[in-house]
Amino acid sequence: MEIILKREALSNTLQNINSVVDKSTTKPILSNFVIRTIDGNDSNVEFSSTDYELSLVELLPAEIKEQGSICVNAKKVFDIVRELQADDVHIRSTEQLWIHITCGTSETRLPSVEVGLYPQTVLEELPQSMTITVDDLRRCIDMTLFAAITNESRRNLMGVCLSSAGDQKTRWLSTDGHRLAQTVKSVDSLNFDADKEVIVPRKALTEVRRVAELFGENVNITFDDRVMQFSGGAIIFKTRLIEGKFPNCDPIIPKDNTLEIIVDRESFISSLRIVSSISTEKLRPVKLIISPGTLKLESEKADYGEVVDEIEIEYEGEPFQIGFNSRYLLDVLSVLESKNVKLECKNSMSPTIIKSPDDESFLSVIMPLRVEW
Amino acid sequence: MEIILKREALSNTLQNINSVVDKSTTKPILSNFVIRTIDGNDSNVEFSSTDYELSLVELLPAEIKEQGSICVNAKKVFDIVRELQADDVHIRSTEQLWIHITCGTSETRLPSVEVGLYPQTVLEELPQSMTITVDDLRRCIDMTLFAAITNESRRNLMGVCLSSAGDQKTRWLSTDGHRLAQTVKSVDSLNFDADKEVIVPRKALTEVRRVAELFGENVNITFDDRVMQFSGGAIIFKTRLIEGKFPNCDPIIPKDNTLEIIVDRESFISSLRIVSSISTEKLRPVKLIISPGTLKLESEKADYGEVVDEIEIEYEGEPFQIGFNSRYLLDVLSVLESKNVKLECKNSMSPTIIKSPDDESFLSVIMPLRVEW
């Protein structure tokens, strides 16, 4: 193989490729990636990498001198290309499996691996599909991924559950057992069986979100029960879906929360940050003391000190108090964009809904904490 | 004590205070700092912190309601003040040693410590002195600190050796045994015994450098054999000096290096970065192959690959080759500011001088590596 690529585009692509590459050293073959020329395409080459769960295939404009393919260490190539200065990067393979990378006056020689040893990413025609704008996809991921679980304790919660909400709408849902986040979004050309749901893993959504602007304007999503493909622009992500059943969250979303509190979102964030700043616990518990017109926030009364703050709210019911992990509140407040937010409670012990006052498409539910101070 | 401070100034000062505070937990008292009002000064309070080696004393404008002093945990106060929003921060102590910090609607209550338990920083009249501009001080630190040792293996090399170079000049010198850096700088009002030298610890110079702009235009440095004080603007650093003798580096600085190589500094940096990018060793050895007009750079020939590059140089002697740790070369090239740099060598085995072609005040010496590839 012999190709010439633009350095800057190459460097960006290698960064994406490297994000997918498996960083653990248990499967050394997965530290590599593949470049190949494509039959019948004289102006692009295909870059691909996979960690078995998630694969990325990206097309890059190239001048093709000789067809072929190579498989080479992703981090080495990335580290070298990042330092190069000239505009054109010349990549050539030899029969002895050496890769020569020439740029300006510099020449690099790297060993490579038989392409056949690297797991190939096969793109598929998949039965279910939808088209979503890049902006909507980004919002759907931001509005839900924060509530998905990050550790391996419950694999079925390590992603976002996607299902049809009828009428060309999709429902995106995540939970870690202490809180949930749900957003409903209209999409184009939805072809999604009403009774089906799939769980999209965190890593896939994180990577898709990170490079979202590369998809162009729209992302075409296709899937079956096993895999999902995101394609648009010059890139395609393919991910395995998480096997298992997502818990039925509908019973957890309270229907009879009659106490409504309207809070200025930025004041609420700022007060939560002040009051939680003293805590030594990771999730930083706070107590909210709610009375007509006023929300008082209190940190735990601990040996190392305590903080209180107060903000104005719109509320007309009976005074009551309720505890939360401030981290959970801050997570949802920071993905909302409205001036005000609405908290819907029933009492000190009931799950609380947090949403925009004027947008029914998103809601988050947070379980309260028993506060004993 | 009861004082009112401006939040932004307070926050900046707390950041400086926190840099000095001992982060280890072996001496819990040192996690605190002190605020005290000053007899006869109605418009400033004094902040101070120390880790026994290095102390910082900073004056801050304040409205003083009641004289007094407090000693309180530095990180807690910093974490809280960072989140505050209103302009004025009110700090008040009670007889039960509680500190109340009020800002806008928020109120914080923190436990404090008897001020008498905290080691007091006593500023001294010291016999030796000089005045240096902030810019010059910054340059002197940048030009030498990189070559000082970072680990504890040789305590006397963990700083920069300062001595008089006669004629109102100071000599700043550092070495880690593999390289040295030396700069000679004119100062004002130098009062420094010709046969004396002091070793200023790395931490003091790092902190002084970090907040240099707070000194104003000039820094007044006073010292004896034990301690040094840097004062200017509203801040004073006091540091213990490193006990021990700094090695005599004069014999290491070669006098008969007759081979002169002039290299464009930025091209040299870029080539070194490319060629060393493949190395897996921390110090990234490279080989320089020097011939008239051309410098060829080569990485080690390793199983994982190799890189070569080439740049134009001014050189008219016999061809020869010499190895270096590229990290050492890059360190000195990045503190120089001239377009070109000059390398002065004798042969493949001799210490090499690196400096600006037109500035005799600075030089660095790097020991070559035996390269066997």
Partner residue opposite B108 with nearest CB, options A79, A109, A278: A278
Domain assignment of residue A122, yes or no: no
Does one domain contain both B88 and B136? no
* CATH code of the domain in which B134 resides: 3.10.150.10
The DSSP symbol for A200 reads: E
Domain assignment of residue A54, given as a range: 2-117
Q: Which of B103, B75, B72, B74 is nearest to B90 (CA)?
A: B103
pLDDT digits (tens, 9 = 90+) for A1-22: 999 999 999 999 999 999 999 8
Partner residue opposite A76 with nearest CB, options B106, B109, B304: B304
Please say if the pLDDT value at position A153 is more than 90: no
Domain assignment of residue B210, yes or no: yes
Which residues of chain A does B310 touch, with a Cβ-Cβ cutoff of 8 Å?
105-106
Task: Work out the average pLDDT over B99-126.
Answer: 97
Does one domain contain both B163 and B257? no
Q: What are phi and psi of B227, to 5 degrees?
A: -135, 160
User: Whole-angstrom Cα distance, residue A72 to residue B305?
Assistant: 11
Contact B105 A309 (CB under 8 A): yes
Does one domain contain both A342 and A263? yes
pLDDT digits (tens, 9 = 90+) for B135-160: 999 999 999 999 999 988 899 999 99
The DSSP symbol for A214 reads: G
- What b/e string do you get for A181-220 counting C-beta neighbours within 10 Å, with b at 16 or more? bbbbbebeebebeeeebbbbbbbbbebbeebbebbeebbb
Final residue before a domain boundary, out of A61, A94, A117:
A117
> What pLDDT does A50 receive?
96
Q: Counting one residue from A and one from B, how many pairs have CB atoms under 8 Å apart? A: 94
Helices (H), ranges, B159-264: 202-210
Does one domain contain both B240 and B297? no
Task: Work out the average pLDDT over B189-194.
Answer: 93
Per the DSSP assignment, residues forming a β-bridge with A242 are: none
Averaged pLDDT of chain B? 96
Contact B106 A308 (CB under 8 A): yes
Contact B305 A108 (CB under 8 A): yes
Contact B278 A79 (CB under 8 A): yes
Number of CB atoms found within 10 A of residue B206's CB = 13
- The distance from CA B245 to its chain's CA centroid, rounded to whole angstroms, is 20
Does one domain contain both B96 and B134? no
Single-letter amino acid, residue A194:
A
Does one domain contain both A228 and A171? yes
pLDDT digits (tens, 9 = 90+) for A175-198: 999 999 999 999 999 999 988 999
Which residues of chain A does B305 touch, with a Cβ-Cβ cutoff of 8 Å?
76, 108-111
Q: Do B187 and B168 meet the contact criterion of CB atoms below 8 Å apart?
A: yes
Domain assignment of residue A123, yes or no: no
Does one domain contain both B101 and B141? no
> What pLDDT does B22 receive?
82
Q: Which of A117, A116, A121, A204 is nearest to A159 (CA)?
A: A204
Task: Work out the average pLDDT over A206-220.
Answer: 96
Does one domain contain both A133 and A166? yes
Could you please report the per-residue DSSP string of B72-89?
A: EEHHHHHHHHHH--SSEE
Q: What are phi and psi of B333, to 5 degrees?
A: -60, -30
Helices (H), ranges, chain A: 7-20, 74-83, 134-145, 202-210, 265-276, 326-335
Contact B83 A277 (CB under 8 A): yes
User: Whole-angstrom Cα distance, residue B49 to residue B31?
Assistant: 9
Partner residue opposite A111 with nearest CB, options B85, B273, B305: B305
Q: Which residue of B has its CA nearest to A307?
A: B108
Contact A303 B79 (CB under 8 A): no
Does one domain contain both B261 and B278? yes
Which residues of chain A does B309 touch, with a Cβ-Cβ cutoff of 8 Å?
104-107
pLDDT digits (tens, 9 = 90+) for B4-34: 999 999 999 999 999 999 888 789 999 999 9
Contact B304 A73 (CB under 8 A): yes
Q: Which helix (H) or strand (E) holds B142?
A: helix B134-145
Averaged pLDDT of chain A? 96
User: Whole-angstrom Cα distance, residue B352 to residue B257?
Assistant: 8
3-state helix, strand, coil in chain A (%, to 5): 25, 45, 35
Q: What are phi and psi of A81, to 5 degrees?
A: -60, -35
> What pLDDT does A22 receive?
82
Total domains in the fold of chain A:
3
Domain assignment of residue B135, yes or no: yes
Which residues of chain A does B85 touch, with a Cβ-Cβ cutoff of 8 Å?
270, 274
Please say if the pLDDT value at position B243 is more than 80: yes
**Looking at the complex, does the CB of residue B166 fall below 8 Å from at least one CB of chain A?**
no
Q: Which residue of B has its CA nearest to A279?
A: B76
Q: Which of B162, B152, B110, B103 is nearest to B132 (CA)?
A: B162
Q: Do B206 and B20 meet the contact criterion of CB atoms below 8 Å apart?
A: no
Final residue before a domain boundary, out of B93, B117, B141:
B117
**Looking at the complex, does the CB of residue B307 fall below 8 Å from at least one CB of chain A?**
yes
Does one domain contain both B6 and B113? yes
Partner residue opposite A304 with nearest CB, options B111, B305, B307: B111
Task: Work out the average pLDDT over A215-233.
Answer: 97
Which residues of chain B does A84 touch, with a Cβ-Cβ cutoff of 8 Å?
274
Contact B107 A305 (CB under 8 A): no
Final residue before a domain boundary, out of A78, A97, A117:
A117
The DSSP symbol for B328 reads: H
> What pLDDT does A25 receive?
74
- A320 burial type by CB count under 10 A (0-12 exposed, 13-18 middle, 19+ buried): middle
Domain assignment of residue B181, yes or no: yes
CA geometry: angle A360, A354, A323, nearest 5 deg: 165
Three-state secondary-structure class, residue B143: helix
Tokens of A139: 């919002």
Does one domain contain both A284 and A242? no
